[in-house]
A and B are shown apart, each in its own frame.
Chain A
Amino acid sequence: MGGLLIQAFIYLCAAVIAVPIAKRLGLGSVLGYLIAGIIIGPVVGLVGSETQAIQHFAEFGVVMMLFLVGLELEPWMLWRMRNRLIGLGGLQVFVTAALITGICLLFDIYWSVALAVGLIFSLSSTAIVLQTLNEKGLSRTEGGRGSFSVLLFQDIAVIPMLALIPLLALPELSASGLENSTYNLNAEKHETFSLVAGLPAWGYTLVVLGSVALVVLGGHFLSRPLFRFIADSRLREIFTASALLLVIGIALLMTLVDLSPALGTFLAGVVLANSEFRHELESSIEPFKGLLLGLFFITVGAGIDFGILFGDFALLLGLTLGVILLKGAVLFGLALLFSLKPGDGWLFTLGLAQAGEFGFVLLSFSLQNSVIPSDLAKTLSLIVALSMLLTPALFILYEKIVLPRLNPEEQQEPDSIDEQGTVVIAGVGRFGQIVNRLLVASDVHTIVLDHEAAMVDTLRKLGIQSYYGDASRPDLLHAAGIESAEVFVVAIDDRERSVEMVGYVRRHYPHIRILARAFDVNHLYLLKQAGVDLAVREMFEGSLQTGAEVLKLLGMHPFKVEKMTWAFRHHDEVGLDHLYELWDENPDIARNRAFLARAKEHGESLRGMMESDRMQAHDQSERAWTPPPKGYADSFQAEGDTAGGPDSS
């Protein structure tokens, strides 16, 4: 127990110190974890060989990551990106892998090892690049979008790669290397229970197809009633537990039939991408994924062999630069082929030229499967890490050297906006529904959140894209993509929580415009204080309209009624601003004397306004279309024989 606590303390401590510092320095969290690992491993020697066992456990983070990647992949989005995804992404992976494999073959490396190396270096770092693009606000540029397509293709391509690598096993390695390999994880595999051991080929195929069908159909038909049942219990930890159960269960099933767990969870993710529980699942799994992947990178850092690094530093650096140059050249060619503008092309080229975290995953997987000898693996791991370390430098190169040299006109040219900014609507009861319907009818992309699973279900049947979840939770807002939203609408029916929500979003995302549903004046002021851009009293327009209908029934001319309601609305608006100056948070508004006095004064001024209107004086309330006084035309002087003037009778 004590040992476990000490280990956990060391790992967490290293992460907590190194990651924020790395982020502050613009290196990104992946490098932070790597550095943390290097410090506790080879530098200080706090951790030793047990890192390999931990790494095996931490790899489960990758499985979770692919589940999340799957969750993000809505079919329509994939369809829209198909050209870039397959064109840019596919070509990048195949050409890079082929070139690197070819070069390895030139150096007389055995073909299967060469192919594995090619695959490892064809991948870039999704974690570093996406984060950097977001931080620098480049993700919406053409270069940013191209990069995203390539990264997405790579993330998907990892799955077949994981399936391919075991087939490349070197017979002599698996026979002789097993005993001395420290990464001896294959040994465990032999002991694991398998459903398909000893089955004939046709039986194996049937079992595999059956399991995949189970994941797809189960995900499609069973998950919803199950999640709704759990959601109705309103116990958050049970929802988290069931999300974890889902991922672990699928991973287990896949392992039992000798398939890649990553493939299974990825599939499950895609199946659930359309589900109303998507964002809730995302926010439940995300922290586990983050921690496990972090742990994985720490173990990679801890496994770095300083002997090799300093022994052949020049060679390693040369190889790293060679990999970056080669990848950059392929990317640059693709940018030209897909006619990206020079600025975007350079961003694309420099941004994706590193190797990535999936390279580590493939490496450790190759090692387990005896595809790559362990000394080569150590060297490769160093090259991947070095190339990632150089990524911030490449971005600096882009910003400081490339950008200033571009034609300034080209720089300023706005990017083509092919998608409108999204609107996140929290709460989709009677109020939020109407807001959403108007927006959707106007082709605005909305993301709707509600904590009533039954309500979300009904809405989905009506074809409204909505998700289950408690929108007052920051992580759910994050999963719903609040960062990239343009407008946030708070339409929930809970006073305190709507004020909290407005305050939270205002503090963390100052650029987003926030609109909120207010219950009454006091609530409206609270929302205003929390930083809302516009609060609308839910009852106001309906009540005013009812009053107007009464006036019409009483025989007042409809246009006169219209003018009265305009005047009323305007008077009320002015009064609201006026009263806000004296308002305080005290819920017992009856004790704020100054406020009461002004409210009374305001009410009287309304009556005065309406009365003076009745007397047809030239006043503010119905200034419009007030006729000029009688006999006003007498003063006009005609130049010829006719008098002019508007006929106002």
Chain B
Amino acid sequence: MTSTKTEKLMTNNADSSKRRILVLFAHPSLDRSEVNQPLMQATRNVEGVTLVDLYGEYPDFQVNVDLEQQRLLEHQVVVFMHPLYWYSTPAILKEWQDLVLEYGFAYGSEGTALQGKVFFSALTAGGLEAAYCAKGYNHFTIRELLYPLEQTASLCGMVYLPPFALFDARNAVDEGRLDSHVADWVRVLTALRDGRLDLKAALGLPKLNSDLHAIVQEG
């Protein structure tokens, strides 16, 4: 992260106009989803947020590059919302990256379309949070596992935030953790939209929802 970028992001923050948020949602088996489905519904209801169901829009993986680039241009925040599949995104989000983040658009000497936009993942993971560390069976933290995304954002000149993550997601409903997670998510979205989320404080966190009180100013 360069200092100029951080400055730019702070001026954005001060801007009174609201940020528009693009949530690219990917779940290949929506009818069996317990967490992502309600998260998606909640996202749909937040004003100023555009939700794109990628598997719904491109069931044959033929991503419309022009349309997706246009969407990127119209938003200031880009979110990948998905379950964690093999320490990465479901296939269509990789396809989306391969097709939409073109040379000359997203990177390269003339590819500046994404500069300064905020990017992060909102993901659900099956393992316990404790497993995501050097001594756990997953050996890496969630941030480390997402380095390819972080670096992609970096090459495109975007501001990368840590993932908004739910661990042990298969048991979240049974243990009654779903509602608070959804509420936290809506809180983060609205704060981002209204410029009430302290991006600078969030940059170095292990996950975006580590301590919302520290980064969200209540409006």
Contact = CB atoms under 8 A, between A and B. Distances in A.
B37 to A, nearest CB: 18
A629 interface: yes
A156 B173 CA distance: 48
Interface stretch (B10-18, B25-33, B102-110, B115-123): B102-110
Contact of A644 (B2, B63, B108, B151): B151
Interface in A294-316: none
B217 interface: no
B65 interface: yes
Interface string A612-649: 00000010000111101100100110010000111000
What range describes how many residues of A lie at the interface? 10 to 19
B45 interface: no
A625 B98 CA distance: 7
A566 interface: yes
Nearest to A644: B155
Contacts of A632: 103, 108
Contact of B108 (A626, A635, A639): A635
A645 B101 CA distance: 12
A620 to B, nearest CB: 9
Interface in B91-114: 98-99, 102-104, 107-109
A628 B103 contact: yes
A632 to B, nearest CB: 6
Contacts of A618: 104
Nearest to A623: B65
B154 interface: yes
A645 B155 contact: yes
Nearest to B64: A570
Nearest to B95: A624
B108 A628 contact: yes
B210 interface: no
A566 B62 contact: yes
Interface in A170-210: none
> Which of B2, B103, B155: most chain A Cβ within 10 A?
B103
A629 B103 contact: yes
A618 B154 CA distance: 25
A625 B155 contact: no
> Which of A566, A624, A628: most chain B Cβ within 10 A?
A624
Interface string A249-269: 000000000000000000000
Contacts of B152: 646
Contacts of A624: 63, 65, 98-99
Contacts of A646: 107, 152, 155
A-side binding surface: helix, strand, loop or mixed?
Answer: loop
A644 B154 contact: yes
Contacts of A625: 98-99
Contacts of B154: 644
A644 B102 CA distance: 15
Given A628-B103, A632-B108, A639 B2 contact: yes
A646 B151 CA distance: 9
Nearest to A633: B108
A618 B107 CA distance: 15
Nearest to B110: A635
Nearest to B154: A644
Contact of B109 (A626, A635, A639, A644): A635
Interface string B139-168: 000000000000110110000000000000
B213 to A, nearest CB: 32
A618 B109 CA distance: 16
Contacts of A635: 108-109
A639 B63 CA distance: 33
A639 B102 CA distance: 22
B12 to A, nearest CB: 21
Nearest to A639: B2
A632 B108 CA distance: 7
A596 B165 CA distance: 58
Interface in A511-532: none
Contacts of B102: 623, 626
Nearest to A636: B155
Nearest to A628: B103
Nearest to A634: B109
Contacts of B98: 624-625
Contacts of A626: 102
A26 to B, nearest CB: 39
Contacts of A629: 103
B20 to A, nearest CB: 26
A422 B172 CA distance: 37
A623 B99 CA distance: 8
A623 B107 CA distance: 16
Contacts of B108: 628, 632, 635
> Which of B63, B107, B109, B154: most chain A Cβ within 10 A?
B107
A646 B63 CA distance: 20
Nearest to B1: A639
Nearest to A637: B2
Contacts of B155: 636, 644-646
A575 to B, nearest CB: 18
A623 B103 CA distance: 11
Interface string B21-49: 00000000000000000000000000000
A566 B62 CA distance: 8
A646 B107 CA distance: 10
B128 to A, nearest CB: 32
A201 B171 CA distance: 73
A624 B104 CA distance: 14
Nearest to A635: B109
Contacts of A623: 65, 99, 102
Nearest to B65: A623
Contacts of B62: 566
> Which of A623, A628, A646: most chain B Cβ within 10 A?
A646
Interface in B152-205: 152, 154-155
A566 B103 CA distance: 22
Contacts of B103: 628-629, 632
Interface string A535-577: 0000000000000000000000000000000100000000000
A635 B103 CA distance: 12
Nearest to B108: A632
A624 B103 CA distance: 11
Contacts of A628: 103-104, 108
A101 to B, nearest CB: 53
B117 to A, nearest CB: 18
A230 B98 CA distance: 63
B109 to A, nearest CB: 5
Contacts of B63: 624
A623 B109 CA distance: 19
A639 B5 CA distance: 13
A629 B104 CA distance: 10
B79 to A, nearest CB: 21
Contacts of B99: 623-625
Nearest to A629: B103
Given A618-B104, A645-B107, A646-B155, 12 more contacts: A566-B62, A623-B99, A624-B63, A625-B99, A626-B102, A628-B108, A629-B103, A632-B103, A632-B108, A636-B155, A644-B155, A645-B155
What 3 A-B pairs are tightest by C-beta distance, nearest first?
A628-B103, A635-B109, A624-B99
23 contacts: A566-B62, A618-B104, A623-B65, A623-B99, A624-B98, A625-B99, A626-B102, A628-B103, A628-B104, A628-B108, A629-B103, A632-B103, A632-B108, A635-B108, A635-B109, A636-B155, A644-B154, A644-B155, A645-B107, A645-B155, A646-B107, A646-B152, A646-B155
